[in-house]
Amino acid sequence: MAQHFWIVGTDTDVGKTLVTVYFMRCFQMKGKNVIPYKPVQTGIITENNKSYYGDTTFYQSLSEANLIERHLNSYSFKESASPHYAAMLEDSEIKGEVILEHIKKLKTMYDFLICEGAGGLYVPLEEQRDYYFLHLIKQSQLPVVLVTRTKVGTINHTLLSLEALKMQDIPIVGIVFNGFEGTNLEMNNIATIQNFANLPYLIIPKLKNLSDLKDIQIETDKFFERLMSL
């Protein structure tokens, strides 16, 4: 039993990495062989004379199994910016086929491959040929989970992202509403989006501590049933 998919977002900082780690842990708890994979990450962090990249370091910090470093990432660039720009600043370039090759290999090695996008869908990878993250996802032929905020502004961002995915015929597993604080406005946002999308969804609360991710209890069966059916 295997399933490989993308965690994409309506924007940067919506919680794709947090959701990737949450799903990684769900599969690890079921004894599955799972790998989170961040094809392109930008924004090196330097603290106490140590430099690291946030996304792949977060994967490692909450993994119940040892993750093979070279399987976690294909491109890392120092500038906290759009991948195409961060690569240009280092006289480098991103090649979609390198990422697709990496995905192909990882699919043969793991039951579950969770690929995390960078930013939102229309993020340039190879600007000179109008090649965006959305096109890479289409070529990968993997379904997507869409992560979105719950606060004001999310309706437009979410519906635009859903439309972009539908135009490319990319299968959508469902929506993860992340950072929920229980307000009526957020509940109306979720209902309004669901009225349009009619997809399985999960709600992840705003966590006081990221380590609380280990303890949150969320009903995921329906969501994972659909994931396994795609």
Ligand X SMILES: Nc1ncnc2c1ncn2[C@@H]1O[C@H](COP(=O)(O)OP(=O)(O)OP(=O)(O)O)[C@@H](O)[C@H]1O
Ligand Y SMILES: C[C@H](N)[C@H](N)CCCCCC(=O)O
Residue 117 is a binding residue for ligand Y (CB under 6 A): no
Q: How far apart are the first and last CA of the chain?
A: 12
The answer to whether the CB of 142 falls within 8 A of the CB of 133 is no
82: partner contacted, choices ligand Y, ligand X, Mg ion, none (Cβ within 5-8 A by kind):
ligand Y
**Known catalytic residue: 208?**
no
Could you tell me the CA-to-CA distances from 76 to 44, 118, 122, 219 in Å, in that order? 8, 11, 19, 34
Identify the active-site residue in 38, 78, 95, 208: 38
Q: Which among 75-83, 177-185, 187-195, 201-209 is the span making contact with ligand Y, rule CB under 6 A?
A: 75-83
Residue 100 dihedral angles phi and psi, to the nearest 5°: -65, -35
**Site mask, ligand X, residues 8-27, x = CB under 6 A?**
-x--xxxxxxx---------
Smallest distance from ligand Y to CB 144, Å: 17
Residue 119 is a binding residue for ligand Y (CB under 6 A): yes
Smallest distance from ligand Y to CB 133, Å: 9
179: partner contacted, choices ligand Y, ligand X, Mg ion, none (Cβ within 5-8 A by kind):
ligand X
119 is an annotated ligand-binding site residue: yes
Smallest distance from ligand X to CB 31, Å: 25
Residue 94 is a binding residue for ligand Y (CB under 6 A): no
Residue 36 is a binding residue for ligand X (CB under 6 A): no
Selected from 80, 183, 188, 211, the binder of ligand Y by CB under 6 A is 80
The CB density around residue 193, as the number of other CB atoms within 10 Å, is 23
Handedness of CA 45, 115, 86, 206 (dihedral sign): negative
The residue at minimum Cβ distance from ligand Y is 119
> What tokens were used for 210?
């990221």
Residue among 14 and 145 whose Cβ is closer to ligand X: 14
Q: Which long-range contacts (CB under 8 A, 24 or more apart) does 47-53 make?
A: none
User: Nearest-CA neighbor of 17 among 71, 74, 70, 56?
Assistant: 56
Q: Which residues pair with 6 in a beta bridge?
A: 115, 144
Q: Fill in the DSSP letter of residue 13.
A: T
13 is an annotated ligand-binding site residue: yes
Q: Which long-range contacts (CB under 8 A, 24 or more apart) does 67-72 make?
A: 67/35, 67/36, 68/35, 71/35, 71/37, 71/106, 71/109, 72/35, 72/36, 72/37, 72/38
105 is an annotated ligand-binding site residue: no
Residue 83 is a binding residue for ligand X (CB under 6 A): no
Q: Which among 68-76, 152-160, 192-200, 204-212 is the span making contact with ligand X, rule CB under 6 A?
A: 204-212
Known catalytic residues are 38
